[in-house]
Amino acid sequence: MAAFYNQATLSYNGTIASSNITVGEMIEVLSAEKNAVSGTYTPGGENVFVISLVNSGSAAFTDITITDDLGAYAPSEGAAEVVPLTYVEGTAAYYVNGVLQTAPTVAAESPLTITGISVPAGGSALVLYAARANEFAPPTAGSSMTNTAEISGTGFTALTASAETAPAGAPDLAISKSLSPTQVEENGEVTYTFIIQNYGNTEASAEDSVIFSDTFTPVLNGLTAQFNGAAWTAGTDYTYAESTGEFVSTAGSVTVPAATYTQDPDTGAWAVQPGVSTLVITGTI
């Protein structure tokens, strides 16, 4: 509740008379809450945000506008704001007392502005929309972003509601393979090099049980393997069947450090430097 005060005056013949001060209380009957369907996000991934409006009063509120900043923030002091979420066009939906309504009007996409929302007396409304984490969304472990919606209209004091999400903490692995030399004589030696990259903000550790496998055709004889420069031991770090050419690492032998991230202080864009591990397998064919 918010208190309000009022006093009247009379002016006559250079004299001013003041009334007593009346005191009233404004009972706020419209409330707002905002939640994200998922508490985490991934680069380029979508999340759905839900704004719940509840009207405990005896009169309806109409023509409400919702303005969402989509997490806008300044990457450094004095820099222009960047917006880490991109509204997914066509996803805005609107329910009144649980009943789907005609899609609301999206008057602008950044900040996201949705107009024409109504909440009946003693009723509720839900507004949902999806947004995608873009290149300005913080990717580092322990970071987060908060997007705040302002709910404004006639007959009530503007409200704000926020939702906080954090980047998902998980490895994100990619692998590439090269052969040297590409032309080799029979019974010649070849080397396969595998570059394993981790674009995630969390190390791929032994507990993640990463397993590497490859079937070499033609079969490699006298096979040796090195991981990040250290020799691997057959039966401990990997198994290899010379009859089929199948090579399989032991679960947990492959580990890859987490990526590192840097943010341009002026543009706000994040750049990723993946963590890298290297597996080298050599043999004769």
Q: Right CATH number for 173-284 from 3.40.50, 2.60.40, 3.30.1360, 3.90.75? A: 2.60.40
Q: Which residue has the higher pLDDT, 215 or 187?
A: 215
pLDDT in tens, 116-160: 999 999 999 999 999 999 999 999 999 999 999 999 999 999 999
Q: C-alpha distances in angstroms, 37 versus 51, 91, 124? A: 11, 14, 19
* Confidence bin at 27 (pLDDT 50/70/90): low
Phi, psi of 206 (to 5 degrees): -60, -30
Contacts for 252 with CB less than 8 Å, ≥ 6 apart: 205, 206, 207, 208, 209, 210
Give the up-direction half-sphere exposure of residue 96: CA atoms within 13 A in the CB hemisphere. 15
* Confidence bin at 33 (pLDDT 50/70/90): very high
The pLDDT of residue 1: 56
Give the residue among 202, 196, 205, 131 at the shortest CA–CA distance from 167.
Answer: 202
* Confidence bin at 191 (pLDDT 50/70/90): very high
* Confidence bin at 267 (pLDDT 50/70/90): very high
Mean pLDDT of 16-45: 88
pLDDT above 90 for 30: yes
* Confidence bin at 190 (pLDDT 50/70/90): very high
pLDDT above 80 for 202: yes
CB-count burial class (<10 Å; 0-12, 13-18, 19+) for 261: middle
pLDDT in tens, 229-245: 999 999 999 999 999 99
Architecture of the structural domain at 32-151+160-167: Sandwich (2.60)
The pLDDT of residue 14: 86
Question: Domain residues of the chain, as ranges?
Answer: 32-151+160-167, 173-284
H-helix or E-strand spanning residue 160: strand 159-167
pLDDT above 90 for 5: no
Give the residue among 45, 125, 137, 31 at the shortest CA–CA distance from 83.
Answer: 137
Fold match flag (32-151+160-167 vs 173-284): yes
Total length of the chain: 285
State the average pLDDT for the chain.
95
